[in-house]
Structure formats: structure tokens, C-alpha cells
Structure 1
Amino acid sequence: MKHFKSLFFKPVKHLLIVFFLISSTLPVLGRASKNSADKAGKGSRLSKNFNADWKFKIGDAKGAEEAAFDDRQWELTSLPHSFSTPYFMSPEFYVGYGWYRKHFLAPNGFQHKIVSLEFEGVFQQAEIFINGMFVGEHRGGYTAFSIDVTKALKPGDNIVSVRVNNLWNPQLAPRAGEHVFSGGIYRDVYLVVTNPIHVDLYGTFVQTPVVSKESAKVLVETDVKNETKNDQTVQIRTDLVNTNGKIVASYSSSELIGAQSVKTITQNVGTILKPLLWHPDHPYLYTAITSLSIANKVIDQYKTVFGVRTFRWTADKGFFLNGEHLYLRGANVHQDHAGWGDAVTNAGFYRDVKMVKDAGFNFIRGSHYPHDPAFVDACDRLGVIFWSENPFWGIGGSDNVPDGYWNGSAYPLNSKDTAAFEASVKQQFREMVKMHRNHASIAIWSVSNEPFFTAPHTVAAMRALLGKLVKISHEIDPTRLAAVGGAQRPLDSNRIDKIGDVAGYNGDGSAIEIFQDPGIPNMVSEYGGTYSERPGKYEPGWGDLSKDNGEPVHPWRSGQSLWCAFDHGSIAGAGMAKLGIIDYFRIPKRAWYWYRNHYRGIAPPEWPVAGKPAALRLEADKRSAGTDGTDDVRLQVTIVDKNGKPLSNSPDVKLDVVSGPGEFPTGSSINFSEKSDIRIMDGQAAIEFRSQFAGKSIIRATSPGMPAAELTIDFKGGRPYQPEFKVKDRPYTRFEKENPKTELQVFGRNNPTFASSFSQNHLPGYAADGDPDTWWQPNDNDTHPHWTLDTEKKLSIQNLMITFPSEEAYQYKIEISDDQEKWNLISDLSNNVQKEKIKNLKNINADGRYIRISFVHNTKSAISEISVTGAVLQ
């Protein structure tokens, strides 16, 4: 053991540094598929987890790229990492710069290899330096990229420095959104060593153009990169392997690869007889092993996990998987977790997908950006169909807001920004497709979400960009269709739902007349959205699907996706943040149990009630975990009575690391309280716990008046823990801007609308489409005509302006609500006799999300436009 320890570890500038030993005898696994282990193999390809032993400093640091820079006072950390840790759903977060530095030893023989750093995601601009030399950058926060660092390396000790910023940039996508945009190297990083001739990053594309129960033809495209100065003849062999390791098809060819070039090689590998088809009920996966050889010597090997299946979207009969009809029942998912923010482990992503699957869903919409490869890998392995989405979207209330802070027009306001912005959207779409194209679970590429939230003068350019993205999708992946997500506006000739192959209608789009049986494949990409603190109500929150009771009554509809699975941090405030059926700490609300019962027939548990707390039940989802940043442990505390029965009492609870390695988002301890953002609710609290050091960690739970509870977690792999490695505490403070602004925004245009009824050619949405020449009008038989606007945010409403189609003595009342159950009257004009075309109410000073206008029966009832001015409440 002493011999191996001296080989692999060396102290450099107060850090123990991993030495990368390259072997030509171990099995290799390409970047298309990975687990927590390091990989080395034939041809000396090495993929080494690079997550441990970083130094971090928030803010900009002049000269931090230089090798001699003094970083001894910086925080010792590991990846994945977020600027905002610890983060607990605040609508505000740090925006600016952060620096990361890490010492490492150069791989043996690196001068004859290609050494790269592969980042799975950095939000949102990264500048990379090796030994003070600038080696590359990447713009865009949700896609993987590779940086060749070979020429900057030197024998022995090297240092990589990464300058990251999450500053809003009018030329980068996304320009707007409702989630949070924390900066950081928040996904895994790998050091990859290859031969100068090798398979490129995510360089394989496995396709199954012909599939039946009897056979499946397999075609593999491989991007082979030749970084030598000479043309080279390379033998390429592809073996298709089942889960038992048996080769079921194989193909070899010889190809000339030009010097300093990348060539895409297409191989009709062969036919798999009696293939086991991928399906949510049996998610079977195969592996393609691609080997490159010169003169019969293997120089590279790359593995790609894939599935055999067919997807078919139809306009009249819905969605088909492997030739059989399947109704998609799904949920939308954002990526952040309690405490850690966006810096989620692969194990955390697996738990997320499993929770969705366990409730009986078969579909996830990756809202609204490319998700971590590990998340999609979990969908593959657990059997959940995945909708992968490009980060091109907008948000309501942006019309009068100047550019900035992800709250502006979806498409640039200024012509000087348009070319760079479109290039960013296209770049990230291409990167998303290349990163994810081999995943069996992905059924479609979505080019957008609600891009109609854009300034009126940019609508034509927005539509044109959608068309360009659809064309790109068809060119780079002809095996899947392209969707326009959030396609329920505009309602005029500029409608966007038919620009793509499939339309995703959000919210009221599920009920708008012109989108019923629209003549193209479609689904409800968002429905519901019920605000609740845990435990919430035992009900589904069908929301926009209430009239159908959530049932698939339309044969032309492919499916429906709940908004949303998990609570998440949101710049739109708590009203948008807490719409999940699972809370931020990954504890189910009662709605989750409703869906599990409805879809799987599993009865809910007995709900806890208040009692006399007697003990703490401390549990972990597992008792051992890895240390490379891809793994963690989920801890949960439950308040129980003397008989061990769970209670709803929620006293303060504290978790401490008594001894050994490991950390909470807040450091070596964490406090839960009903009155804190770090919440204990309904008698339960949970958090994820991780370590970059090996050893046994003893964790103790305490609460006043009850005996302590303890458990032990065994972290394996990596450096053994020493007391000097104990993490520093990071006390939680809700982030607030230094100069907070309560900006008034204008809502109404293109926000969701609902009405008691509508007459022909007078849809509810016409009262909020920005066009005064269109209007909502109820049908003649409506005895209680009313119209409702959903601003989609809880607002402090100051002004309200209603425009009517003609000057009449309208009689009506105006109410405001948070939840559409309790309504507050703000103006009663039921007896109005004054003719008016515009009603302008000022200084309302009322809080709410929904505005309802109810007309007196048998009086003139119509609304042409509505404008709501207010500030978003946090």
C-alpha cells in the first residue's frame, strides 16, 4: 500500500495532488457513458475524474491565472460547486465572478498525447488557463465542452485556473427565465488523455433506422479526430454488445483521416436479431464499443450506451413507442437541490428521476435547458421518456423592463446583439444534441420555451430563429423530430406552434380553441401549477386540465406534463418556486402520493398528526458512498412518538458531523427550523451529505428535549480523511442585492387567460394579446360571465388598466387572488352607469397573482386589453 500511495499522491502547495497513471491494459469507457470510476484502457485513453482538490474564491481576483499566485487563503472545495452554496430558494443570488484553481501532475508521456479538460457544464462563461497560459473559453451554461491543454502543460506540477462569471449578457442565451442562474463549475470535470488520433468528444452517434421485434439494423457515425501532421489510415471496428457482454453484431472498415481534421465515418454495423426493445417497463440498453487501430495496434477505444426503440408522433392518434400507443404522463423538472443549488451529484439526479418514476410518470420535460448527462442517463436506465430543451425562452412582464438579469425580452431588443445571440442559441442547441443524442430516453428536441414573451418589434425575428433551429435539428439528427415548446402564443397570424414538427402547449394553451386538434402532433407540455408548502393537499392540481379531470380524452393529444415535479429556486419568487409535488429537500408532498395512487394503485400512508415528540429517527438512503463528487447520501430526520409513529410536530433539529469526513451545504453542521429557509415541515427534514475524503463519518441528530440519534456513513475511495481537512462552516444567510430595486413591471400581454365562456372569434386570450382590435366576449348563454388573468407571479399590484372594445356603461367587479379560492374585491362597479372605453385604476396596493373581472348578467360583457402594473413579491 505504501508503494501505491507514493505513486498516486503527492503534496503540492498544501494540497495532495492526484497523479494520473495511464494504463494500456484496463477496460475503457468513453464519455458517452460513465460512472464514478476512473477509466483507462486500450490505446492509453484515460478519463480521470477531476472534481477533487480545488481552491475557490468568490469575486474577481487580479492575476489569479498565474501559476505563482498565492491562493492559500482561498476555500478548499470540490466539484460540483455553485457560487451560491449554501442556497435555499432565495429569489436572489450572487451575480459576478468566481475563480477556481487546482494543482495536478502532468500525465506520463503527455508530450505524445492529447490532454484535454472536459467540462460537463459551467454557468455561464468560463475562461481556462494552464500555468498562466490562456487555453480556451466557453460561453453557455448548460452544455459540455472540451479544452485541449496539451501545449500549456509542463512535466511535474501544473495548475489550472478557471475564471467563471454568471453575469447577464444580452448576447447569450437564455436572456430570460424564471429559475435561478447561479454561477460556478456546477457539473463534473474530467481530465482526458488520448492518442492524437481519437474519437472526438461525444463523437459517436448510434442510430437504429429499421426496428421490429424480429430485428434491428444499427448504423453508427463516428467522429474521428486526427491531430497529427500527416494523413493516417485508421481501422475502425464497432462491436455491439448486450448486457451479458456478448457481441451481437460487428463491423470493421479502413478509413483515411486527413491531417489536422475531423472525419465522420458511417458504418452499417449490422443487425441485432430479436432485439430487446427499450421501454419504460423494460429499459434495456446495449453498448457500442468503437476501437481505432493503426497497423493492428489499438490506439483508442470508446463506449456508447444506446437503446433500440422507435418513436412516432402523430397528429391524430398521439404518441407511439415501438409501434404501440403510449400516452405520456409526465412532469417538468428543474435541476437545483436544497442547499447545494445547481451543484447536484449524479446520485442526486438518479434519485430525482426515480421519484418521478415511482409516482407512476413515464415522461420528464427537461425544463428549460439541456440537463446534466447523468440526469438523462438515469432516464435511460430507469425507463423515463425525456424531452430535451434548448435554453431559448422568455418570461412574462418583460415588455417594459430594460435589458438585464434574465428578465428581458426573449429575443434581443437591440440589433447590435442579434447576430451574437442567434449564434449562441444555435451553438447551445448543437451542443445539446451532440451531448445527448445517444440517450435512448430522448424522444424529441425542443428548440424553445415560451419565446413569445418578447418585445413586439422582435416577434418576426423570434419566429425566424425558431425556423432556423428546426432546420438545424433536422440536419444534425434526422432520427428525432423538433418541438416548439411553450407554443400557445401568439394567437394571430404570427402563431408559432406549427413552425416545428411537434407543438408543446403550456397552461391555458391546453384549452384555447385554435389549439384543439391542431393538425400537428402535440402535447400539453405544462399543466397545473399548485402552490403549496409541504405537506399540501391530497389532490392532483390538474389546473388547466380540470375540465377533463386530467384524463386523456383527446386522441390527438400525445400526453401531458405537470408543472412541476420539484420545488426550485426562482427569480419570480415563492409563488413560482413552490409549485412542485415534491419539496426542495426532496420530501414528497401529499400530491405526489395522490399521483402514485392514481397511476400505480399504491395507497397513501397514514398522515402524521400532532402528538408528543419522543425521539428522532435518523435515516440514510445508503450507508456508503463515493468521494469523487458524483455520489452523495440523502439524510432524513423524522419526529416520532414513544411508539415510533411519525408526528407532524416540527421542533428545531440540528445535524452535526461528530467525527470523520463529509459536509452539509452549510459545512459540518446544519440547523432545521420551521421559521427558517432551512425548513423542517410536517415532522420531517432532509438534506444531501457528501465528502471528497475517504473514511467513516458519524452524524448526530439533536433536538431539545429528545435523545440524540446517530448513524455512520462510510465514504470510500480518494484520499483518507485527516482532521486538518475538516470543512469550514458556511453559515447560511439569505442573499440580498446590495442595492435592491423594487421594479415595477407590466403584465398582461401573452399571460395565461381563462373565462367562463367565449363566443366565436372572441377567445379569452384576445383580451391579453396586445391587439386592441381583438377582444374576449362570452357566449350569449353565459349567466355568470367572467374573465381571469394569471400573471404567473405574486405581485404587489399598483395599477390596472382595462380597455373595452367600445364605449359602453360596463357593469362589473374586479377581484384579486393568490390561489383562485379566496378573492379580494378591489373595485365594485356593478352599478356603473358611466360610459367608458378605458378604465384606469391607480394606487391599488393589493397583493395577488390572479385578476378576475366579473360582469353583471345581461349587461355588455367584453374586454379588449388588460394591463397590470406591479412589483414581483419575493
Structure 2
Amino acid sequence: MNVIIRMRALLLLLFIHSSVFLYSQNDQAFTEPRERININREWKFKLGDHPGAEATSYDDKAWSTINLPHNFSIPYFRSPHWYTGYGWYRKYFNVPAQWKSKRIFVEFEGAFRVAQIYVNGHLVGIHKGGYTGFSLDITDWVQTGRNVLAVRLNNDWSPRLAPRNGDFNFTGGIYRDVYLVVTNQVHVTWYGTFVTTPNLSRKSGIVNIKTEIRNDSNKTGYYTLTTDIVNPCGKIVSTVSSSVIIPDDSTIAFDQTTTSIKAPKLWSPQHPFMYKAVSIILEGKDTIDKYITPFGFRWIKWTADKGFFLNGKHYYFRGADVHQDHAGWASAVTDAGILRDVRMIKDCGMDFIRGSHYAHSPSFSDDCDTLGILLWEENDFWGSGGTQQETGNWYDGAGAYPMNAQDQPYFEESVKNDLRDMIRIHRNHPSIIVWSMCNEPFFTDASTMPRVRQFLKELVQLSHKLDPTRPAAIGGCQRGNIDKIGDVAGYNGDGARLFINPGIPNVVTEYGSTIAKRPGQYAPGWGDLQQKKFSWRSGQAIWCGFDYGTRAGDFGMMGMIDYFRLPKNIWYWYRNKYRHIPPPPPAIQGIPAKLKLTADKTTISNTNGTDDVQLIVSVLDKNGKQLSNSPDVTLQIVSGPGEFPTGNSITFKHNSDIDIRDGKAAIEFRSYYGGQSIIRAMSPGLQSDSVMIETKGSPRYIEGVTQKTVYPPYVRYTLKKESANKDQKVDIAFQKPTLASSEMPGKLASQANDKDTTTIWQSEANAPVKWWQVDLENLYTISEIKLLLPPGESEAYTIEVSKDNQHWTTIATQNVMNKNARYCNCDVDSKVVVRFLKITFTDSINRPASIKEIMVYGTPVN
């Protein structure tokens, strides 16, 4: 009998132990003073607006089951159009009894772009802005047991929210990670530490830590904050401690400074040493919160005459602009995908990224820190060439700043809020060397430019207040007389040659802009960037790192690396130049015999959507040599968990949106269930190949039982008729980059398309050839050209257009004397796709050629 009793007791203990284990795995029971729990898995989703969907009793059984990160438009493959409107998300989560005395927060790292957050039917917050995270205290609305988190989200255009325009896609969704954060009543606030290293030298350094601590309890208490500084080897090298009384329902800011730390390891791209500040809140001897802040020791200096200095040494950086957009998944990129992007920039020998043109994921800054990349972090106040008016949608190109006075205060507060959040979230990263206020805000209606200039000054002042340790930049400042407003000027395109020794710290923030399909030319694509190394210039960034989706169609194919994350030849050129690694031999035509399927790694480390693998399929001949032949290839999940953005399989077709080119194709594969996945690459008549991907973690996948995410089949999205681009008369040449055969002082090429008839472009009189050219920065069909020449000037000229700046087509000629200052109208009956337009003057021998103003009208080619 005693044996039976002991056996029953043992079984009971095993059952209890198993139950606790399962509960902690599935429901994340609280065991630490602070817990941050990823809740990316198993959301319900449906496009459209659904009244009452916030209620706990709402029936969502017919909704799709999806996982985060997610995007309204998955699968997305660079379509110039995308879904605009509402989408609803619902997530069920359990609150264990142990959390009853805790504070519970939900943290979103990004949701584009107006999010209404409900818990158990109660509206707990609204966040406006698609590129910065936010945290909401949901303690008062949760209950022990089952809870419902609902998100009503839209990506509608609004005149009152930044950004109003841009060369990018604005697909909606909860496209970054979401977490539940559980703390005690007294805790460090959301991104509540600010770590700096004042008076730093190679011999010694001190650390200043400003820490916000919130007391949400109903009692005043005496608390101690102890901060340990931990070096890259894990050793505590300094400790500082402070005690203070914190009243209930209040936030106190601690200001601590350590003693001197001898010979700290300095952070740099070559040696990205990272330290940690470990903040511990004590109530008596009890630890009630623990918060870790990675940081680095480094100091920077920007100068107008000698460029940029890092840790006291002159440093010229080279890099690329980077968007957050991946094939199939759009903006819904995993942390692993972000890491691959940063590593690819690093791997070609570059050491700088401009985060164009918005705050990127916290993981992006983390990766720049750990891999050693200098980061230009940019706010989302931008414009791009468009109608400069209030358009009501993403597709007609509204100006950067609102025209209507009633919208302006709301818009300005939106930009300032995004700047505040961007700096708060990213301020502890040593990789970040500047905060940029904007990109090309001069693309706005002329009537708003005086206010734009004043507003930029206010943003610079706000940036200095929020972070006195970093300069404030004006990004894309080559027009509009705005380049001297900030501490650093970022010149795009022809700004590289227009602003020579401008008298302010400066960077070429965009050069190149070469449209190319992989493999492309083996050339650097310098564009307007001079090859002379000026002592006053701090660095340069190519436009751009990766292809991306945009309403401008093929204009998004300017990357060194294509949309599927396969390098073009330009990337190999830079790798050879900067790292002396020869390019691979070019693929050649041959007789395809087999496929080769490879993965960047064979293990996905978790099931929460932060990790994935990149799969690459290659076409080979019978001897295993890479071919350029590009037959249709299908990747199929034969067994096990996992998904492509198109579901259980994906087919690549040459010259399609889901492309195979030069004998290669690639896609990112992710899994939300543990288990082994077998993926096979197949093509008719070719030997297939397979890889096995192991996904760690739980829940485990059960073949034939577990239901995978069901994605809609890929269909290129088209706009409804009423919201398509309007046939408006828009000057598409206004303030676009220009080039000329020669220029007279004060009469520059950029003055011919500035909508100011008091300025003029004028060539040198004795130049053997006289021409003026504009880059329209998009692909258009042109309907009309208006040209204003000075009185008495000859109108003998030819107008040519080109898509690639190499092959030109003549579309108009003129040979009439202009007796009065008037516009010459040229109606163009042409279906030629145009990016560049050139005017060559044919009879201005021994006298200058001039243009007072030119206007070009046309329609974007999608």
C-alpha cells in the first residue's frame, strides 16, 4: 500500500511539474523582476474595417490566422500600387494569477501607421506614425485568464501626418515585433535610460546614466538604483549607486556618473566593442527591476574644413542608403533579415548606412552597433518630386509640407513626435553619429517654403534639447536654401558638385542612382560624385543599397543588391575596391542540367518570427558550373513547418515580378513551428535539389494536423478607378537634378528649373558644345515642354530623351529667333519612356546658350 501511495505521490509531483513547465512555456509565467515576452505568434487578421471587432465576444473564426511581422500586402513584389485602407488584428493571450500585482505593458516596435489599440473591448491608446515604436500600460484592462488584444490599423494618406510623400511603398500592417512587458510597480520606464560618455579619451572614460524610474504603486517608497558598467568580456568595471524617495504615481529621473574607467575599449567600425549598463532597482535588499542598456565608448567630431573625426582620428566613411523592404514580405522583415542587410553592406567594405528616410527597427541599430557600421538616423519628414499639392492619396505625390493652414499644426506635431520617439528609442547606440531632420523637404509648394525653413530650425533646436551629444543634420538639402540650417548638410545627387566647400560639415548622402536589373554593369555608378577626395567632405553614401518597391516603378531598381537580396555586379565592384576580393566569374549560357539549393544557415533558432533563412537556387550545367540560363523554378515545402510569402511554394519566372535572373533566384523562408522542413527546388527537365531546415522551439509541427498560414496568391495590385493617378498638369522637372556642358558663375544649371524667371542658366560663350540636362528621377511619358529663353536668343536646339543616360532619342527640334521673352511650347507626341531630358543648342557659336526656365509635363510610367 505504501508503495502505491508513494507511486501516486510521485506521479502527482510529475504531473504538477509538467503542468508548471507547460504553463511557463505556453503562458510565460512571470519569474523575473522584468519579463519581455514576444507575442508574434497566432494572431487573427482580416483586411477592411469591421465594426465591433474590438469586443471580446466578436466571432473571428473566419479570419485568417497569421503571425508577425505581417503586412497588409503580403505577398508583395515591388508593385507600384498596394492596398490602402483598414486592417484588423486580434490576439488572445493569457494572464497568470502571478501577474496580479504587476504592471503589464504591450510594446509595438512598429505599426503602419494609425493604430487604435483595444484590450478586452476597451480603447487603451492610439498611436499615429508608422516608423517608431510605442508602449501602452494595459494593467487596468487585463484580467486573470484569457484576454483579447485588438488592433484597428490603417495606412491611409493624411495631410496631417508624416510622411506625406516619398519614393517608397507605404504598405500597412503590424510589420515589426510585439511584446508583452511585465514589471513590478516600480520600474524603469520604456527606453528610460540615456547613457553617455562625456570627457572621453583613450586613457580613461566616465559614464553618465540618466534613468527614469516610475512608481505606479499606491505608496511612497525609498528605493536604490545601482548601475553596473559591464565590459565586452562580461566583467563589471564600475558601479554607481543612488537612493531616493519616490512618491507614488510619479516618475523620478536619476542622474548618475561613474568614477573613471581606465583605458576603455573604444567602439569603431573596425573594433565594435560594446559595453552594458545594468540598472538594478532595490527596495531594501529585494531586486524589483533589472534593465540592461548596451552602449559604447566613442567620441565624434564634425568639422567644416577637415571632415569627420572618430575617436580623435580623421575618418572618411563610405556607405549606402537602405530601405526596409524585402521581396515577398514587404516591410514585414525579421530581425534575421535586417541583420543580413547590414552585414551585406559591411561585407562589401562599406562602413556607413543612411537609414532612408525614417527611423528603422531597434534591431537595425543593434546590428550596426555589433557589426561596426556608422549610422545616419533620419526622421520621416520628406518629399519627392510630385504635384506639390493636396492629393488625397499616396500615388499623386503630395508636397512634403501641408498647403492648408488648418493641417499645418497637426503635421508639425506629428514630425516632432516622431523625432522625439526616434531619439528616445535609438539614443544609446554608438553607431549613430547624427540625427537627420528630413529628406528633400524642398519638394513642396513654393508658398510653404518659408515655413519649412523655420520649421527645420525648430526641429534642429528640439534635437539639440533631446540629445546634446549628437549634431542635427538636414538631409537632402541641395535645393531650397536649407543646407545651413542644421549642424551637418546632406547633399543628394547633383548637390555633390553644386556645393563645393560649403562652409558647413557635409556628406554626400545620395550619389549614383543607377537603374539596373541584376547582374548589371561591373562599375561603381558614381553619378555626380567627384572622385577627388576633398578634405572638407566627411563621407559618401550611394543611392542605394537594395532595390525596393515604390509607386515610381523601375525607379526602385537602383540598388547594389536586388530586391531578393542577391548582389548585382556593382556590389562586387565595391567589394573588390574596398576589400580586394575579386568578383565571381560571370555566369554564361549553357545547357542546364541541375539545380543547386543552398541556405545561408540550416537552423531557425526560434518560432517567434525574429529568425529566418535565405534560400538561393542556382541553375548549373552537368559539371556544376553556374549558368545564366533562367528557366522557371519552383521551391516546394515537401514536409515540415515553414512558409514562403506565397505559402507552401513559390515559383520564379524570368522577367516576372517573382524573378529568376542570370541563373539565380532567392527568397526568405520562415517558420513558426518547431521541426524539420524539407524544401525542394524543381524545374522541368532538370535534376532537383533539396535542403533541410531545422526550426528550434515549440510548439512542434505535426504533419497533417498543424495548420500553416494561408497567404493569398500573388496578384499585382491595381488601384480602383476612382483612386488612380489623375491626368494632372504637373511640372515634373521642377527642382530635379541638373547637369550642363558648362556654367557661368551665378548662372548654374539648377537655375533653369527653379520656377524663378529672375534666375538663369548660362553656358560659357566659347564652349564647343552647349547643352543642358535634367534627371526627372522617375520614368515618364512626356506630353509637353515649355521653354523660356532670354529675349533675342536663338531657338535653334534639339530636345533628346533617354531612359538610361546612354541611348538618346530626338523628340523635337526648333530653329526660330526668339524676339521677346516668351515661352516656347513643344507638344510631344511620343510614347518613349523617359528619365533624362537634354536640350542641345545648335547655333550659339561664340556666344553663350541660356535658359531662363523650363517646364516639363508628363505622366509616371508604372
TM class by shorter chain equals over 0.9
Q: Where does residue 168 of structure 1 map in the other structure?
A: 157
- Partners of 1:797 and 1:725 lie apart in 2 by 51
Q: Where does residue 518 of structure 2 map in the other structure?
A: 534
SS in 2 for 1:765: helix
Q: Where does residue 484 of structure 1 map in the other structure?
A: 474
CA contact (8 A) 2:46 2:63 kept: yes
CA contact (8 A) 2:518 2:662 kept: yes
CA contact (8 A) 2:676 2:692 kept: yes
Q: Where does residue 368 of structure 1 map in the other structure?
A: 357
Give the deviation of 1:403 after TM superposition: 4.3
Q: Deviations over 1:294-347 (max 9, x none)?
A: 112111000000010011111000011101111010100000100000000000
**2:827 corresponds to 1:842:** yes
Q: Where does residue 763 of structure 1 map in the other structure?
A: 748
Q: Deviations over 1:151-206 (max 9, x none)?
A: 11111111111111000111100011010001000000010001111101111111
Give the deviation of 1:805 after TM superposition: 3.0
- Partners of 1:270 and 1:704 lie apart in 2 by 69
Q: TM-score, normalised by structure 2?
A: 0.95
Give the deviation of 1:808 after TM superposition: 2.8
**2:62 corresponds to 1:78:** no
CA contact (8 A) 2:552 2:778 kept: yes
CA contact (8 A) 1:221 1:266 kept: yes
Match of 2:187 among 171, 174, 198: 198
Q: What is the letter of the counterpart of residue 398 of structure 2?
A: G
SS in 2 for 1:319: strand
SS in 2 for 1:255: strand
Q: What is the letter of the counterpart of residue 561 of structure 2?
A: I
Give the deviation of 1:565 after TM superposition: 0.6
| Closer, same or farther: CA 375–4 of 1 in aligned 2, 3 Å | farther
Q: What is the letter of the counterpart of residue 272 of structure 1?
A: I
Match of 2:455 among 452, 460, 465: 465
Q: Where does residue 301 of structure 1 map in the other structure?
A: 290
Match of 2:374 among 373, 380, 385: 385
Match of 1:519 among 488, 491, 503: 503
CA contact (8 A) 1:811 1:860 kept: no
Give the deviation of 1:94 after TM superposition: 0.4
Match of 1:418 among 403, 408, 415: 408
CA contact (8 A) 1:810 1:835 kept: no
| Closer, same or farther: CA 3–677 of 1 in aligned 2, 3 Å | farther
Q: Where does residue 841 of structure 2 map in the other structure?
A: 855
Match of 1:214 among 203, 211, 214: 203
SS in 1 for 2:851: coil
Q: Where does residue 184 of structure 1 map in the other structure?
A: 173
Using the aligned pairs only, state the percent identity. 48
Q: Where does residue 576 of structure 2 map in the other structure?
A: 597
| Closer, same or farther: CA 295–844 of 1 in aligned 2, 3 Å | same
CA contact (8 A) 2:614 2:668 kept: yes
CA contact (8 A) 2:305 2:536 kept: yes
Aligned ranges 1:268-283 → 2 under 5 Å: 268-283=257-272
The answer for unaligned runs of 5 or more in structure 2 is: 1-13
| Closer, same or farther: CA 799–298 of 1 in aligned 2, 3 Å | same
Moved more, 436-445 or 265-274: 265-274
CA contact (8 A) 1:751 1:768 kept: yes
CA contact (8 A) 1:673 1:679 kept: yes
Runs (4 or more) in structure 1 with deviation over 6 Å come to none
CA contact (8 A) 2:762 2:848 kept: no
**2:50 corresponds to 1:61:** yes
- Partners of 1:521 and 1:860 lie apart in 2 by 35
Q: Where does residue 123 of structure 2 map in the other structure?
A: 134
Q: Deviations over 1:826-874 (max 9, x none)?
A: 1122x43454531111243342011111112415511111111111101
**2:30 corresponds to 1:22:** yes
CA contact (8 A) 1:750 1:768 kept: yes
CA contact (8 A) 2:766 2:848 kept: no
Q: Where does residue 503 of structure 1 map in the other structure?
A: 489
Match of 1:582 among 551, 558, 561: 561
CA contact (8 A) 1:120 1:188 kept: yes
Aligned ranges 1:289-688 → 2 under 5 Å: 289-399=278-388, 402-405=391-394, 407-490=397-480, 495-512=481-498, 515-545=499-529, 548-549=530-531, 551=532, 553-574=533-554, 576-625=555-604, 626-688=606-668
- Partners of 2:504 and 2:165 lie apart in 1 by 28
CA contact (8 A) 2:168 2:548 kept: yes
CA contact (8 A) 1:8 1:19 kept: no
Q: Deviations over 1:516-547 (max 9, x none)?
A: 111110010000010000000000100111xx
Give the deviation of 1:707 after TM superposition: 1.8
Q: What is the letter of the counterpart of residue 418 of structure 2?
A: Q
CA contact (8 A) 1:810 1:861 kept: no
CA contact (8 A) 1:288 1:304 kept: yes
Q: Where does residue 774 of structure 1 map in the other structure?
A: 759
- Partners of 2:608 and 2:435 lie apart in 1 by 31
Considering only aligned residues, what root-mean-square deviation do their CA atoms show, in Å? 1.5
CA contact (8 A) 2:74 2:711 kept: no
| Closer, same or farther: CA 536–742 of 1 in aligned 2, 3 Å | farther
- Partners of 2:656 and 2:794 lie apart in 1 by 50
Q: What is the letter of the counterpart of residue 266 of structure 2?
A: L
Moved more, 781-790 or 497-506: 781-790
The answer for unaligned runs of 5 or more in structure 1 is: 11-15, 24-40
**2:786 corresponds to 1:832:** no
- Partners of 2:250 and 2:793 lie apart in 1 by 72
Q: Deviations over 1:570-623 (max 9, x none)?
A: 11121x210001000000000000000011111111111010111110000111
CA contact (8 A) 1:400 1:746 kept: no
SS in 2 for 1:616: strand
CA contact (8 A) 1:452 1:459 kept: yes
Aligned ranges 1:802-821 → 2 under 5 Å: 802-821=787-806
Q: Deviations over 1:725-767 (max 9, x none)?
A: 2332531101111213354432122111111110011011111
Give the deviation of 1:710 after TM superposition: 1.0
SS in 2 for 1:448: coil
| Closer, same or farther: CA 835–5 of 1 in aligned 2, 3 Å | farther
CA contact (8 A) 1:233 1:255 kept: yes
CA contact (8 A) 1:662 1:693 kept: yes
Give the deviation of 1:398 after TM superposition: 2.3
- Partners of 1:401 and 1:302 lie apart in 2 by 45
| Closer, same or farther: CA 3–844 of 1 in aligned 2, 3 Å | farther
Q: TM-score, normalised by structure 1?
A: 0.94
Q: What is the letter of the counterpart of residue 581 of structure 1?
A: M
Q: What is the letter of the counterpart of residue 770 of structure 2?
A: P
Q: Where does residue 286 of structure 1 map in the other structure?
A: 275
Q: Where does residue 694 of structure 1 map in the other structure?
A: 674
Q: What is the letter of the counterpart of residue 438 of structure 2?
A: S
CA contact (8 A) 1:399 1:746 kept: no
Q: Where does residue 38 of structure 1 map in the other structure?
A: none
Q: Where does residue 236 of structure 1 map in the other structure?
A: 225
CA contact (8 A) 1:54 1:76 kept: yes
Q: Where does residue 35 of structure 1 map in the other structure?
A: none
Match of 1:144 among 115, 133, 137: 133
- Partners of 1:182 and 1:447 lie apart in 2 by 23
Give the deviation of 1:802 after TM superposition: 1.1
